[in-house]
Amino acid sequence: MSTGLWLIGARGSVATTAVLGLAALARGHSGAEGCITAGWAGLPDWDEIVVGGHDVSHVSLTKRAETLVDAGMIPAALLAATRDDLELADAEVRPGYASLPSGRSQQQEAERLAADILDFRERHGLTRVVVIDLSSTEPPVDTTDFSVEALTEPDRVVLPPSSVAAWAALLAQSPYACFTPSTGMAPLLELARESGVPVAGQDGKTGQTWLRTVLAPAFTDRGLRVLSWAGANLLGGGDGATLADPEAVRSKLASKTRGLRDLTGSDVTPLHIDNVPDLGDIKVAWDHVHVQGFLGSRITLQTTWSAYDSMLAAPMVLDLTRLLALADAAGLAGVVPELGFFFKNPWGSEVHGAAEQAGALRAWAERTAAEQAGVLRTSAERTAAGL
Protein backbone atom coordinates (compact mmCIF):
# COMPACT_ATOMS: atom_id res chain seq x y z
CA MET A 1 0.00 0.00 0.00
CA SER A 2 1.51 3.28 -1.12
CA THR A 3 1.85 5.40 1.98
CA GLY A 4 2.94 8.97 2.59
CA LEU A 5 5.00 10.00 5.60
CA TRP A 6 4.63 13.68 6.38
CA LEU A 7 7.07 14.96 8.96
CA ILE A 8 6.52 18.08 11.07
CA GLY A 9 10.08 19.31 11.56
CA ALA A 10 11.15 17.59 8.35
CA ARG A 11 14.64 19.07 8.28
CA GLY A 12 15.63 18.30 11.87
CA SER A 13 18.09 15.70 13.03
CA VAL A 14 15.57 12.91 13.70
CA ALA A 15 13.71 13.54 10.44
CA THR A 16 16.92 13.58 8.42
CA THR A 17 18.00 10.30 9.98
CA ALA A 18 14.58 8.77 9.34
CA VAL A 19 14.48 9.82 5.69
CA LEU A 20 18.06 8.73 5.01
CA GLY A 21 17.47 5.48 6.89
CA LEU A 22 14.24 4.73 5.03
CA ALA A 23 16.08 5.15 1.74
CA ALA A 24 18.93 2.93 2.97
CA LEU A 25 16.44 0.22 3.98
CA ALA A 26 14.47 0.48 0.75
CA ARG A 27 17.68 0.16 -1.30
CA GLY A 28 19.07 -2.65 0.87
CA HIS A 29 22.09 -0.67 2.06
CA SER A 30 21.47 -1.32 5.72
CA GLY A 31 19.90 -3.81 8.11
CA ALA A 32 16.74 -2.82 9.98
CA GLU A 33 18.17 -2.78 13.51
CA GLY A 34 16.01 -0.59 15.72
CA CYS A 35 12.84 -1.17 13.67
CA ILE A 36 10.66 -3.47 15.71
CA THR A 37 8.23 -4.07 12.85
CA ALA A 38 10.98 -5.29 10.52
CA GLY A 39 9.63 -8.79 9.95
CA TRP A 40 5.95 -8.13 10.67
CA ALA A 41 3.18 -8.94 8.22
CA GLY A 42 0.51 -6.69 6.76
CA LEU A 43 2.47 -3.42 6.79
CA PRO A 44 3.67 -1.18 3.94
CA ASP A 45 7.11 -2.09 2.60
CA TRP A 46 9.99 0.36 2.97
CA ASP A 47 9.90 1.18 -0.74
CA GLU A 48 6.19 1.93 -0.61
CA ILE A 49 6.71 4.96 1.64
CA VAL A 50 7.09 8.47 0.17
CA VAL A 51 8.29 11.37 2.35
CA GLY A 52 7.42 15.07 2.59
CA GLY A 53 6.80 17.49 5.40
CA HIS A 54 6.70 20.92 6.98
CA ASP A 55 9.58 22.88 8.46
CA VAL A 56 10.46 26.48 9.23
CA SER A 57 14.16 25.84 8.57
CA HIS A 58 15.75 26.53 5.18
CA VAL A 59 18.70 24.20 5.73
CA SER A 60 18.10 21.30 3.34
CA LEU A 61 17.91 17.67 4.39
CA THR A 62 21.13 17.01 2.47
CA LYS A 63 22.99 19.81 4.22
CA ARG A 64 21.74 18.54 7.55
CA ALA A 65 22.83 15.03 6.70
CA GLU A 66 26.30 16.33 5.88
CA THR A 67 26.66 17.80 9.37
CA LEU A 68 25.59 14.44 10.80
CA VAL A 69 28.27 12.74 8.70
CA ASP A 70 30.88 15.21 9.97
CA ALA A 71 29.77 14.53 13.53
CA GLY A 72 30.56 10.86 13.02
CA MET A 73 26.93 9.78 13.39
CA ILE A 74 26.17 8.75 9.80
CA PRO A 75 28.72 6.91 7.61
CA ALA A 76 29.76 8.96 4.57
CA ALA A 77 29.06 6.03 2.27
CA LEU A 78 25.41 5.85 3.38
CA LEU A 79 24.86 9.51 2.60
CA ALA A 80 26.44 9.06 -0.83
CA ALA A 81 24.09 6.14 -1.51
CA THR A 82 20.94 8.00 -0.47
CA ARG A 83 21.68 11.59 -1.49
CA ASP A 84 19.17 11.49 -4.36
CA ASP A 85 16.40 10.29 -2.06
CA LEU A 86 17.14 13.08 0.43
CA GLU A 87 16.91 15.64 -2.36
CA LEU A 88 13.58 14.23 -3.54
CA ALA A 89 12.20 14.39 0.00
CA ASP A 90 13.57 17.88 0.53
CA ALA A 91 11.72 19.06 -2.56
CA GLU A 92 8.51 18.01 -0.79
CA VAL A 93 9.12 20.18 2.27
CA ARG A 94 6.74 23.13 2.63
CA PRO A 95 6.95 26.12 5.04
CA GLY A 96 5.71 25.13 8.50
CA TYR A 97 3.75 27.09 11.07
CA ALA A 98 5.69 28.79 13.85
CA SER A 99 3.72 31.91 14.81
CA LEU A 100 0.51 33.52 13.65
CA PRO A 101 0.93 36.09 10.83
CA SER A 102 -0.95 39.31 11.47
CA GLY A 103 -4.57 39.28 10.36
CA ARG A 104 -4.70 35.50 9.97
CA SER A 105 -6.52 32.95 12.13
CA GLN A 106 -5.06 29.67 13.35
CA GLN A 107 -7.81 27.88 11.40
CA GLN A 108 -6.58 29.50 8.20
CA GLU A 109 -3.04 28.38 8.96
CA ALA A 110 -4.19 24.84 9.74
CA GLU A 111 -6.06 24.76 6.45
CA ARG A 112 -2.96 25.93 4.63
CA LEU A 113 -0.97 23.06 6.20
CA ALA A 114 -3.75 20.53 5.43
CA ALA A 115 -3.79 21.66 1.81
CA ASP A 116 -0.06 20.89 1.56
CA ILE A 117 -0.69 17.36 2.82
CA LEU A 118 -3.63 16.74 0.49
CA ASP A 119 -1.69 18.08 -2.47
CA PHE A 120 1.19 15.73 -1.61
CA ARG A 121 -1.21 12.78 -1.39
CA GLU A 122 -2.79 13.57 -4.68
CA ARG A 123 0.38 14.20 -6.66
CA HIS A 124 1.88 10.89 -5.48
CA GLY A 125 -1.35 8.88 -5.66
CA LEU A 126 -1.01 7.80 -2.03
CA THR A 127 -3.58 5.70 -0.22
CA ARG A 128 -2.95 7.70 2.93
CA VAL A 129 -0.46 10.08 4.48
CA VAL A 130 0.73 9.47 8.04
CA VAL A 131 1.71 12.70 9.82
CA ILE A 132 4.37 12.52 12.54
CA ASP A 133 5.33 15.53 14.62
CA LEU A 134 9.09 15.67 15.31
CA SER A 135 9.29 19.37 16.15
CA SER A 136 11.16 20.76 19.17
CA THR A 137 9.81 20.71 22.70
CA GLU A 138 7.51 23.67 23.46
CA PRO A 139 6.84 25.28 26.84
CA PRO A 140 3.61 24.10 28.53
CA VAL A 141 0.55 26.07 27.35
CA ASP A 142 -2.90 26.68 28.69
CA THR A 143 -5.48 25.46 26.18
CA THR A 144 -8.58 25.76 28.37
CA ASP A 145 -10.01 28.37 25.96
CA PHE A 146 -9.86 26.00 23.04
CA SER A 147 -12.84 25.56 20.78
CA VAL A 148 -13.04 25.08 17.05
CA GLU A 149 -14.79 28.42 16.84
CA ALA A 150 -12.04 30.25 18.73
CA LEU A 151 -9.58 29.03 16.12
CA THR A 152 -11.33 31.00 13.44
CA GLU A 153 -10.85 34.41 15.09
CA PRO A 154 -8.10 36.40 13.39
CA ASP A 155 -5.01 37.18 15.50
CA ARG A 156 -6.18 34.91 18.31
CA VAL A 157 -3.67 32.29 19.53
CA VAL A 158 -5.54 29.35 21.04
CA LEU A 159 -3.16 26.48 20.37
CA PRO A 160 0.60 26.04 20.39
CA PRO A 161 2.26 25.36 17.00
CA SER A 162 2.40 21.60 17.52
CA SER A 163 -1.36 21.47 18.03
CA VAL A 164 -2.01 23.54 14.95
CA ALA A 165 -0.04 20.97 12.99
CA ALA A 166 -2.02 18.14 14.59
CA TRP A 167 -5.28 19.88 13.75
CA ALA A 168 -4.11 20.18 10.17
CA ALA A 169 -3.53 16.41 10.10
CA LEU A 170 -7.11 15.81 11.25
CA LEU A 171 -8.40 18.23 8.62
CA ALA A 172 -6.47 16.21 6.00
CA GLN A 173 -7.89 12.93 7.39
CA SER A 174 -4.34 11.82 8.13
CA PRO A 175 -3.33 9.35 10.85
CA TYR A 176 -1.17 11.27 13.29
CA ALA A 177 1.56 10.57 15.88
CA CYS A 178 2.92 13.09 18.36
CA PHE A 179 6.61 12.34 19.01
CA THR A 180 7.15 15.54 21.07
CA PRO A 181 6.25 16.28 24.69
CA SER A 182 4.11 19.34 23.87
CA THR A 183 1.13 19.71 26.14
CA GLY A 184 -1.54 21.22 23.89
CA MET A 185 -2.82 17.96 22.45
CA ALA A 186 -5.49 16.97 24.98
CA PRO A 187 -8.44 18.81 23.33
CA LEU A 188 -7.67 17.25 19.95
CA LEU A 189 -7.90 13.59 20.94
CA GLU A 190 -11.67 13.52 21.01
CA LEU A 191 -11.78 15.40 17.72
CA ALA A 192 -9.57 12.70 16.21
CA ARG A 193 -12.08 10.05 17.18
CA GLU A 194 -14.89 12.08 15.68
CA SER A 195 -12.86 12.62 12.51
CA GLY A 196 -12.31 8.89 12.12
CA VAL A 197 -8.55 9.30 12.24
CA PRO A 198 -6.26 7.05 14.32
CA VAL A 199 -3.76 8.91 16.50
CA ALA A 200 -0.95 7.94 18.87
CA GLY A 201 1.27 9.71 21.34
CA GLN A 202 3.11 11.18 23.11
CA ASP A 203 6.80 12.01 23.49
CA GLY A 204 9.04 9.31 22.02
CA LYS A 205 10.39 6.88 24.63
CA THR A 206 13.78 6.42 23.06
CA GLY A 207 16.56 5.95 25.60
CA GLN A 208 16.86 6.56 29.33
CA THR A 209 13.11 6.60 29.98
CA TRP A 210 12.69 3.38 28.02
CA LEU A 211 15.45 1.79 30.09
CA ARG A 212 13.75 2.93 33.28
CA THR A 213 10.47 1.38 32.21
CA VAL A 214 12.33 -1.86 31.50
CA LEU A 215 13.94 -1.97 34.93
CA ALA A 216 11.24 -0.59 37.23
CA PRO A 217 8.69 -3.40 36.63
CA ALA A 218 11.48 -5.93 37.07
CA PHE A 219 12.14 -4.66 40.59
CA THR A 220 8.44 -4.91 41.33
CA ASP A 221 8.39 -8.46 39.95
CA ARG A 222 11.06 -9.33 42.50
CA GLY A 223 9.17 -7.77 45.40
CA LEU A 224 11.89 -5.14 45.82
CA ARG A 225 11.09 -1.60 46.87
CA VAL A 226 12.60 1.33 44.94
CA LEU A 227 13.52 4.10 47.40
CA SER A 228 14.89 6.64 44.93
CA TRP A 229 15.77 6.90 41.27
CA ALA A 230 18.09 9.79 40.59
CA GLY A 231 19.74 10.62 37.32
CA ALA A 232 21.53 12.93 34.99
CA ASN A 233 21.13 13.41 31.29
CA LEU A 234 23.80 14.94 29.09
CA LEU A 235 23.21 15.94 25.52
CA GLY A 236 24.45 18.40 22.95
CA GLY A 237 23.09 19.17 19.50
CA GLY A 238 20.10 21.43 18.96
CA ASP A 239 18.05 19.40 21.41
CA GLY A 240 20.54 20.10 24.19
CA ALA A 241 20.24 23.83 23.64
CA THR A 242 16.43 23.73 23.55
CA LEU A 243 16.24 21.71 26.72
CA ALA A 244 18.68 23.99 28.55
CA ASP A 245 15.75 26.44 28.64
CA PRO A 246 14.10 25.59 31.99
CA GLU A 247 10.67 26.63 30.73
CA ALA A 248 10.76 24.49 27.61
CA VAL A 249 12.06 21.52 29.53
CA ARG A 250 9.23 21.42 32.06
CA SER A 251 6.90 19.35 29.92
CA LYS A 252 9.78 17.03 28.96
CA LEU A 253 10.79 16.32 32.54
CA ALA A 254 7.21 15.78 33.63
CA SER A 255 6.86 13.20 30.86
CA LYS A 256 10.13 11.49 31.80
CA THR A 257 9.28 10.97 35.45
CA ARG A 258 5.56 10.25 35.28
CA GLY A 259 5.89 6.63 34.19
CA LEU A 260 8.54 5.87 36.75
CA ARG A 261 6.39 7.24 39.56
CA ASP A 262 3.54 5.04 38.44
CA LEU A 263 5.75 1.98 38.15
CA THR A 264 7.61 2.24 41.45
CA GLY A 265 5.09 4.03 43.63
CA SER A 266 8.03 5.98 45.00
CA ASP A 267 9.22 9.53 44.79
CA VAL A 268 11.63 9.93 41.95
CA THR A 269 14.30 12.56 42.37
CA PRO A 270 13.83 15.11 39.59
CA LEU A 271 16.09 14.44 36.65
CA HIS A 272 18.46 17.06 35.25
CA ILE A 273 19.08 17.65 31.57
CA ASP A 274 22.42 19.31 30.88
CA ASN A 275 23.43 20.87 27.61
CA VAL A 276 26.94 19.61 26.90
CA PRO A 277 27.55 20.92 23.38
CA ASP A 278 30.74 18.95 22.74
CA LEU A 279 28.78 15.68 22.95
CA GLY A 280 26.91 16.55 19.76
CA ASP A 281 23.97 14.23 19.13
CA ILE A 282 25.21 11.61 21.62
CA LYS A 283 23.07 11.39 24.71
CA VAL A 284 24.68 10.05 27.87
CA ALA A 285 22.33 9.20 30.72
CA TRP A 286 23.31 8.05 34.19
CA ASP A 287 20.85 6.62 36.68
CA HIS A 288 21.35 5.66 40.30
CA VAL A 289 18.65 3.43 41.74
CA HIS A 290 18.49 2.82 45.47
CA VAL A 291 16.45 -0.24 46.34
CA GLN A 292 15.40 -1.74 49.64
CA GLY A 293 15.96 -5.47 49.76
CA PHE A 294 15.33 -8.27 52.22
CA LEU A 295 15.54 -7.26 55.91
CA GLY A 296 16.11 -3.63 54.95
CA SER A 297 19.33 -4.38 53.08
CA ARG A 298 20.74 -1.94 50.57
CA ILE A 299 20.84 -2.63 46.84
CA THR A 300 22.11 -0.16 44.29
CA LEU A 301 22.02 -0.26 40.54
CA GLN A 302 23.75 2.23 38.33
CA THR A 303 23.24 2.45 34.60
CA THR A 304 25.05 4.49 32.00
CA TRP A 305 23.44 4.68 28.60
CA SER A 306 25.18 6.20 25.61
CA ALA A 307 23.62 6.49 22.16
CA TYR A 308 22.92 8.85 19.29
CA ASP A 309 19.46 10.02 20.16
CA SER A 310 18.33 10.50 16.57
CA MET A 311 19.40 6.94 15.80
CA LEU A 312 17.02 5.70 18.49
CA ALA A 313 14.12 7.89 17.40
CA ALA A 314 14.31 7.49 13.62
CA PRO A 315 13.43 3.78 13.39
CA MET A 316 10.52 4.35 15.78
CA VAL A 317 9.23 6.98 13.35
CA LEU A 318 9.32 4.40 10.57
CA ASP A 319 7.59 1.82 12.77
CA LEU A 320 4.85 4.30 13.67
CA THR A 321 4.33 5.13 10.01
CA ARG A 322 3.72 1.49 9.18
CA LEU A 323 1.55 0.79 12.22
CA LEU A 324 -0.64 3.87 11.80
CA ALA A 325 -1.12 2.89 8.18
CA LEU A 326 -2.40 -0.46 9.41
CA ALA A 327 -4.66 1.19 12.01
CA ASP A 328 -6.09 3.46 9.36
CA ALA A 329 -6.64 0.59 6.94
CA ALA A 330 -8.47 -1.22 9.75
CA GLY A 331 -10.73 1.79 10.20
CA LEU A 332 -9.64 2.66 13.73
CA ALA A 333 -10.56 6.14 14.95
CA GLY A 334 -9.06 8.13 17.82
CA VAL A 335 -6.33 7.04 20.17
CA VAL A 336 -4.71 3.62 19.56
CA PRO A 337 -3.57 2.74 23.09
CA GLU A 338 -1.49 -0.26 21.95
CA LEU A 339 0.96 2.17 20.36
CA GLY A 340 1.84 3.35 23.87
CA PHE A 341 5.05 1.29 23.60
CA PHE A 342 6.63 4.14 21.68
CA PHE A 343 5.82 6.93 24.14
CA LYS A 344 6.80 8.34 27.52
CA ASN A 345 3.28 9.55 28.04
CA PRO A 346 1.08 6.92 26.40
CA TRP A 347 -2.30 8.23 25.30
CA GLY A 348 -5.20 6.05 26.33
CA SER A 349 -3.18 3.78 28.58
CA GLU A 350 -1.91 3.51 32.12
CA VAL A 351 0.65 0.86 31.17
CA HIS A 352 4.27 2.07 31.34
CA GLY A 353 6.24 -1.17 31.68
CA ALA A 354 8.18 -1.80 28.49
CA ALA A 355 7.79 -5.58 28.44
CA GLU A 356 4.03 -5.40 28.92
CA GLN A 357 3.75 -2.69 26.26
CA ALA A 358 5.82 -4.72 23.82
CA GLY A 359 3.60 -7.74 24.28
CA ALA A 360 0.41 -5.72 23.82
CA LEU A 361 1.76 -4.02 20.70
CA ARG A 362 2.82 -7.27 19.08
CA ALA A 363 -0.53 -8.91 19.84
CA TRP A 364 -2.46 -5.92 18.47
CA ALA A 365 -0.43 -5.75 15.26
CA GLU A 366 -0.74 -9.47 14.60
CA ARG A 367 -4.46 -9.54 15.32
CA THR A 368 -5.21 -6.42 13.28
CA ALA A 369 -3.10 -7.52 10.32
CA ALA A 370 -4.74 -10.95 10.39
CA GLU A 371 -8.21 -9.42 10.51
CA GLN A 372 -7.37 -7.20 7.57
CA ALA A 373 -6.00 -10.13 5.63
CA GLY A 374 -9.14 -12.13 6.42
CA VAL A 375 -11.65 -9.43 5.59
CA LEU A 376 -10.12 -8.51 2.31
CA ARG A 377 -10.03 -11.82 0.57
CA THR A 378 -9.80 -10.76 -3.01
CA SER A 379 -6.99 -8.87 -4.56
CA ALA A 380 -9.45 -6.29 -5.81
CA GLU A 381 -10.74 -5.69 -2.30
CA ARG A 382 -7.18 -5.19 -1.09
CA THR A 383 -6.41 -2.73 -3.82
CA ALA A 384 -9.52 -0.79 -2.96
CA ALA A 385 -8.43 -0.68 0.66
CA GLY A 386 -4.99 0.44 -0.42
CA LEU A 387 -3.19 -2.59 0.99
By CB under 8 A, the residues from 258 to 317 that bind a copy of itself are 269-270, 272, 274-279, 284, 286, 288, 290, 292-308, 311-312, 314-315
C-alpha separations of 287 from 206, 211, 215, 233, 303 in Å: 15, 10, 11, 9, 5
Q: Which is nearer to a copy of itself, 295 or 380 (CB)?
A: 295
Residues 89 to 108 in contact with a copy of itself, rule: CB under 8 A:
none
Contact 229, 260 (CB under 8 A): yes
Do 162 and 113 form a contact (C-beta atoms < 8 A)? Answer: no
> Rule CB under 8 A: is residue 223 a binding residue for a copy of itself?
yes
Cβ atoms of residues 180 and 134 within 8 Å: yes
Nearer CB in complex with a copy of itself: 120/179: 179
Residue count at the site for a copy of itself (CB under 8 A)? 75
Rounded least distance, CB 348 to a copy of itself, Å: 20
Residue 115: its H or E element: helix 106-124
**Residue closer to a copy of itself (CB basis): 358 or 373:** 358
246 lines the binding site for a copy of itself (CB under 8 A): no
Cα(113)–Cα(132) distance, integer angstroms: 13
Site string for a copy of itself, 332-361 (x = CB under 8 A): ---------------------xxxx-x---
222 counts as binding a copy of itself under rule CB under 8 A: yes
Q: Does 375 bind a copy of itself (CB under 8 A)?
A: no
CA distance 387 to 380: 10
Non-local (6+) Cβ contacts of 58 within 8 A are none
Rounded to the nearest whole angstrom, what is the least distance from the CB of residue 350 to a copy of itself in the complex?
17
What is the C-alpha separation between 25 and 32, in angstroms, rounded?
Answer: 7
Question: Among residues 122 and 294, whose Cβ is nearest to a copy of itself?
Answer: 294
For residue 171, which phi and psi values (nearest 5 degrees)? -60, -35
Q: Which stretch binds a copy of itself (CB under 8 A): 36-44, 51-59, 249-257, 325-333?
A: 36-44
The yes or no reply on residue 31 touching a copy of itself (CB under 8 A) is yes
Q: Of the ranges 28-36, 150-158, 165-173, 344-352, which one interacts with a copy of itself (CB under 8 A)?
A: 28-36
Q: Which stretch binds a copy of itself (CB under 8 A): 113-121, 193-201, 230-238, 364-372?
A: 230-238
- Strand segments, DSSP code E, in 91-188 are 93-95, 128-133, 176-178
CB of 373 to a copy of itself, least distance (A): 23
Q: Which of 287, 224, 262 is nearest to 340 (CA)?
A: 262
